[in-house]
Structure 1
Amino acid sequence: MRLTLTCVALLAALSACSAIAPSASDEEIAAVAFRNDGPASVTLMTVINTSSGSGAHSALLIDGPQRVIFDPAGSFEYDPIPERNDVLFGITPRNEQIYKSSHASEKRYIQLQTIPLTEEQAAVAYQTAVNWGASPAAHCTTATSGVLKSIPGLQSIQSTWYPRKLAEQVSRIPGVREEIYSEGGTESVQEAVAALDEELRQQRWQQ
């Protein structure tokens, strides 16, 4: 069921990876800083086209010193969520939901792959994302794979331009938790998710 938000008019729906270089102040970031009480982790968020199965965007939800979203070359904009370069700050559960709702539709769903991390690993992921700078247009997956491979223990991640290729690599990481987020509720979404599940099973069988 699609979440209804009064702020929906303020959200920029994802149309493509596009270069944005906002520069929130230290004061704005400090005012919304949020840290999750749960364990440290990083979640690869892959936006997938329902009809074609192709990847449309890659981003990372980082649960570390702060809870942030690394959204390289993304088009998401929402005033209460300050952004500096490619990092969105103040990612409470509500703001995470707003971000996901702005990307999911009858035409797109999100593959979520969560990798448990130590506090030290999460700190590296966070610092690398913060220091990455603004990514050029269409570089969302190369930047996302770059941050992932900077994490100690994940150096085997290969740089790629393709969101689905990166998701395939992450699916092979021991302990990764996978789920699908969809707001379409249509038969085509269900078929796409079933196809993705089968594809992931085949990948694991072949390892």
Structure 2
Amino acid sequence: MTILVAARWNHGIMLTADRMTSVIDSNGYLTGETVLTDKIAFVRRDALISIAGLTPVGLAVIETLQLKFLEYPGKVSFNDILEFTQRTIKSEFESFKKDNPDVFNPDFSAFLGGYDSYKNKYSLYLLSYINNFFPQKIQFYSAEGIERDRVCSYLKNKIGNADEATKLLSDSIRRINSPHVSKETLTLTSFYDPAEGKFNCKRVEIDQYGSSKEKQL
């Protein structure tokens, strides 16, 4: 299982996820093994995606988005990224179900956040198999996965300054005691600095002991 947490400010976006992934074999079945995996990625410096559910679907979606947008030199509309992401997820999800008809009740969801240059602010959306991946707009923060309501309850009235939110979002996951959720978390951030006209991006890993390792990207 996966827990995704996402938060949005007008000037930035922050996505956090636990890092435990259940290994799926070539036939789409769980092997019983788990590995640490990055479930969040940059689509561009101004757009991020996090994935939960079928890992093969998520990794294929990330690869497709990065191939199309990551090195694209010009400006890209966030709406174009959102629409392309929705189409890609639906296509990969349906392909997985077709290729693995015996897998019971497959699920997949993703948070997509990015800077909308036309509105001069960041937007955040949830795309879930529950409603056929129709983009659901998130105003401030949300969570997806096991005990999502408990996570959201913990975050309520706590998220304020973005500088303090990294640990808070991680703590909201790390406090869940489940063998299916790791204490290791990953957070990626993208914030726009209008004074310098550039995007400041960061990667923050927190290990099982609560030690943090931060890298500017």
Scaled by the length of structure 1, the TM-score of the pair is 0.31
Q: Which has the higher helix share?
A: 1
Q: Which has the higher strand share?
A: 2
Scaled by the length of structure 2, the TM-score of the pair is 0.30
